[in-house]
């Protein structure tokens, strides 16, 4: 892969401050009844109930033909449901066993463990390649196992399961633990130490959430093994490799801590970074490593999710992110506490309290470590005080994203470029929430298929710029934004809370012509502003020849009330808002059905598209009130 280059050495430098290791202690084993019996009685009963429910469900049966379906038709969801359901059931059984003690669920737990041990591969069909972005192998690779996200997750699940149940397994048959160790060696330890997977980093290619996500789980596999399994120098080698990979990952971040994969991927990027650092801090003696949580970059990565929150579980979303994200958990809570960020800790605890029971119990989660951490912090989160501090307006210079808010509106506007991880072609787009309800929206992404991460990605309508809140040019042949880092905004300026004629205004200015790769589009200057306590303005000025049509995606139905001869159009958007467009010669609306199951998570009904044709003056103003 060439010479390894890392610009940041943050994790490595903190690792070098420590001299010796101590035992992993984040997950007490089942014989530590004092810990598990100290859990709130209501929680313990809920965990036992979940185990009893799971016990009644049949284990999924996975055939080779299920694995091959992805290569045949690109469908990944059917196999993945069979795969993940096993892991969800096993977690529920183990948590019930920990809560209750004894061995009532052990036989069913062993069934689940052995089913997973017998799987030909832990790597998902959609990830079945040793080389990044190359065509996936059709059949599971049994000779050279691939560590993808879920091979690492599965390894960690079995490793943590064996660790917390070791006393119980030892009474039944010590050979069970040895079988798990052998499979971990075959599927995790040997590939990790003999092959350089792309997500481990080399300083040359960009990293993403895969890096901390896999790294965290590799550390769980290594540090939950019995003392005799690895010597101290071998374990230190895992820590050095982890630190290097995490530093490569941190190279992708600006000092502002913005996740260019968005709020939804924070749970896999920023939070898995936390997980890896949390494990490292636990196994390193002396306390020096904990100082990493006070580093400004780490604190900013942690706090990013608070700044992206709109209200409840709605978040500012761009790219593949959904507008509706999972509830916050003990991981965010602990991240806030270790960073000494009371706003984040309080935000996480408050959101946890709003969650429905299944979310508080992490019923959909396949990582056993997360389940145990959640249970151990459940009681404290229930009683944690709410913070009275308000989230200020923010500009993330590294990604060109502004988030501004007042008592009525949350406005987000994006400059940046089209080279983000999980990118959509959306330079210059913006979203608006009014009174906590979606008004001008970003659709997000549909259910992942083979095409989602292929050269046909931008044939998918939700990825294209003409279904984002930006202009489209041309008549017969449409000129859309192009994917790639070279296609982005220029002349970007952000002003937060500036004073003008007695108003407080936060605004983002940019020229987005460079996102279109067409010399006929000479410039397209956009200014998106929140006038605090009043309204939102978008002012566009265009220089170029091709016809220009502005798209606005709305959640509620837009009704055209009036179009004047002077180029002014008034629309009513449901009962939520009014939009005034000036500088237009024609305005049309159309319905966009929401039929994809993943899109339905955020959008409960069809959405709408406004097409505003720019008149000859080539200046359009959008006023939202």
Q: Kindly report, residue by residue over 252-266, the tens digit of the pLDDT.
A: 999 999 998 889 999
Q: What is the mean pLDDT of residues 93-108?
A: 98
Question: Is the per-residue pLDDT at 358 higher than 90?
Answer: yes
Residue 565 tokens, joined:
């001869």
DSSP tag of 296: H
Mean pLDDT, rounded, for 231-245? 97
Identify the residue whose tokens are 């048959």. 173
User: From CA 467, how far away is CA 599, in angstroms rounded?
Assistant: 14
Please list the alpha-helical segments (H only) found in 398-542.
none
Retrieve residue 45's tokens.
């009963």
Residue 434 near residue 310, CB atoms below 8 Å: no
Range 422-437 average pLDDT = 96
Q: What is the pLDDT of residue 6?
A: 55
Strands laid side by side in the 558-563 sheet: 490-500, 503-511, 521-531, 535-544, 619-624, 577-582, 568-573, 558-563
Q: Which two tokens stand for residue 514?
A: 């460079």
Poorest-pLDDT segment among 20-29, 91-100, 235-244, 451-460:
451-460
Contacts 24+ apart (CB under 8 A), 578-582: 578/624, 578/625, 579/552, 579/610, 579/622, 579/623, 579/624, 579/625, 580/621, 580/622, 580/623, 580/625, 581/612, 581/620, 581/621, 581/622, 581/623, 582/620, 582/621, 582/623
> Which residue in 437, 492, 184, 212 sits closest to 323, CA to CA?
437
In percent, how much of the chain has pLDDT > 90?
A: 91
Distance CA 438, CA 493 (A): 26
Classify the C-alpha dihedral 322-327-331-332 as positive or negative: positive
Is the pLDDT score of 239 beyond 50?
A: yes
Q: Lowest mean pLDDT: which of 184-193, 452-461, 582-591?
A: 452-461
Task: Kindly indicate the confidence band of residue 1, based on its pLDDT and cuts at 50, 70 and 90.
Answer: very low
Q: How many residues does the chain have?
A: 625
Closest CA to 184 of 238, 125, 128: 238
The pLDDT, as a whole number, for residue 2 is: 38
Backbone angles phi, psi at 375, to 5 degrees: -65, -40
Q: What are the pLDDT digits (tens) for 318-348?
A: 989 999 999 999 999 999 999 999 999 999 9
Looking at residue 3, its pLDDT comes to: 42
Can you tell me the distance from the alpha carbon of 361 to that of 355, in angstroms, rounded to the nearest whole number? Answer: 10
Cβ–Cβ < 8 Å for 241, 197:
no
Spell out a b/e string for 110-138, using b for 16 or more CB atoms within 10 Å of the CB, else e.
Answer: bebbebbbebebbbbbbbbbbeeeeebbe
Average pLDDT, the chain: 95
The model carries a pTM of: 0.94
pLDDT digits 0-9 by tens, 512-555? 999 999 999 999 999 999 999 999 999 999 999 999 999 999 99
């Amino acid at each position: 892969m060439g010479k390894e280059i890392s610009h940041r050495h943050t994790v490595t430098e903190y690792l070098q401050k420590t001299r010796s290791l101590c035992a992993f202690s984040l997950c007490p084993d089942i014989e530590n009844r004092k810990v598990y019996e100290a859990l709130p009685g209501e929680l313990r009963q809920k965990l036992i109930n979940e185990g009893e429910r799971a016990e009644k469900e049949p284990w999924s049966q996975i055939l080779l033909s299920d694995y091959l379906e992805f290569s045949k038709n690109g469908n990944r969801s059917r196999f993945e449901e069979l795969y993940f359901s096993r892991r969800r059931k096993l977690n529920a059984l183990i948590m019930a066993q920990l809560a209750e003690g004894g061995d009532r669920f052990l036989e069913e737990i062993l069934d689940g463990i052995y089913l997973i041990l017998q799987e030909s591969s832990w790597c998902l069909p959609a990830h079945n390649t040793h080389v990044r972005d190359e065509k996936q192998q059709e059949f599971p690779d049994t000779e050279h196992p691939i560590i993808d996200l879920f091979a690492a997750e599965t390894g960690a699940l079995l490793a943590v399961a064996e660790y917390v149940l070791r006393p119980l397994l030892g009474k039944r048959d010590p050979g069970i633990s040895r079988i798990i160790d052998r499979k971990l060696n075959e599927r995790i330890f040997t590939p990790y130490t003999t092959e350089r997977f792309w997500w481990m980093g080399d300083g040359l290619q960009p990293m993403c959430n895969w890096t901390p996500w896999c790294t965290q789980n590799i550390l769980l596999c290594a540090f939950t093994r019995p003392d005799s399994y690895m010597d101290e120098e071998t374990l230190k080698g895992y820590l050095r490799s982890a630190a290097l990979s995490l530093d490569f990952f941190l190279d992708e971040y600006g000092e502002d801590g913005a996740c260019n994969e968005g709020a939804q991927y924070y749970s896999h990027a920023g939070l898995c970074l936390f997980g890896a650092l949390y494990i490292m801090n636990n196994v390193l003696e002396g306390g020096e490593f904990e100082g990493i949580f006070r580093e400004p970059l780490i604190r900013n990565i942690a706090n990013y999710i608070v700044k992206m929150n709109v209200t409840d579980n709605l978040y500012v979303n761009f790219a593949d992110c959904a507008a509706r994200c999972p509830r916050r958990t003990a991981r965010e809570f602990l991240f806030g506490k270790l960073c000494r960020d009371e706003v984040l800790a309080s935000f996480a605890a408050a959101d946890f309290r709003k969650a429905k029971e299944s979310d508080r119990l992490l019923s959909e989660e396949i990582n056993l470590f997360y389940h145990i951490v959640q249970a151990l912090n459940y009681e404290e989160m229930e009683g944690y005080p709410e913070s009275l501090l308000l989230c200020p307006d923010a500009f993330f210079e590294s990604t060109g994203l502004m988030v501004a808010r007042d008592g009525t509106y949350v406005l987000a506007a994006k400059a940046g470029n089209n080279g983000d991880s999980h990118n959509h072609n959306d330079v210059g787009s913006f979203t608006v929430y009014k009174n906590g309800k979606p008004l001008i929206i970003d659709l997000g992404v549909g259910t992942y298929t083979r095409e989602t991460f292929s050269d046909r990605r931008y044939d998918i309508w939700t990825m294209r710029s003409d279904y984002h809140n930006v202009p489209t040019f041309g008549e017969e042949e449409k000129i859309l934004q192009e994917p790639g880092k070279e296609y982005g905004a220029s002349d970007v300026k952000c002003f937060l809370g500036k004073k003008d004629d007695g108003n407080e205004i936060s605004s983002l200015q940019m020229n987005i012509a460079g996102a279109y790769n067409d010399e006929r589009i000479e410039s397209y200057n956009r200014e998106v502003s929140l006038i605090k306590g009043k309204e939102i303005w978008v002012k566009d000025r265009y220089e170029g020849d091709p016809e220009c049509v502005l798209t606005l995606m709305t959640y509620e139905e837009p009704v055209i009330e009036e179009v004047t001869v002077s180029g002014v159009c008034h629309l009513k958007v449901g009962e939520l808002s009014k939009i005034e467009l000036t500088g237009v010669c024609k305005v049309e609306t159309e319905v966009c059905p929401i039929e994809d199951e993943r899109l339905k998570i955020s959008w409960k009904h069809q959405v709408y598209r406004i097409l505003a044709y720019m008149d000859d003056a080539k200046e359009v103003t959008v006023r939202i009130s």
